[in-house]
Amino acid sequence: MGNSRGVRLPKPLIMLAGLPDDVELELRGNTIVILAQKTPRSGWAEAARMAHAEDADRLLDAPTPTHFDEAEWRW
């Protein structure tokens, strides 16, 4: 492990905590917290629902038409 340190946790403790194989470490002050690894984009669906409910899911800038939009696109 080079200059790193390893920590061994008893399996019953890991099971009680419901930790999967992949975890994240977080430093809070002088305390190291072990958390279940978050899935990619976790919470995005709820954030999108909240933004829609607050009418905050609009484009920041108006769409800018391109040459394709103005001259080539046909319905």
Tell me: the pLDDT tens digits for 20-70? Answer: 988 999 999 999 999 998 888 888 999 999 999 999 988 889 889 898 988
Is 51 among the domain residues? yes
Residue 2 covered by a domain:
no
Tokens at 58, concatenated = 């609009």
Boundaries of domain holding 26: 11-72
Residue 6 located in a structural domain: no
Query: Is residue 16 included in any domain, yes or no?
Result: yes
Counting the structural domains of the chain, the total is: 1
| Position 26 in a domain | yes
Residue bearing the bigger pLDDT, 2 or 51: 51
Q: Supply the pLDDT for residue 41.
A: 87
Q: Contact 58/52 with Cβ under 8 angstroms? A: no
The verdict on residue 43 lying in a domain is: yes
What pLDDT is attached to residue 73? 84
Q: In whole angstroms, how far apart are CA 65 and each of 46, 57, 61, 62?
A: 31, 21, 12, 9
| 4 found inside a domain | no
In a domain, 5, yes or no: no
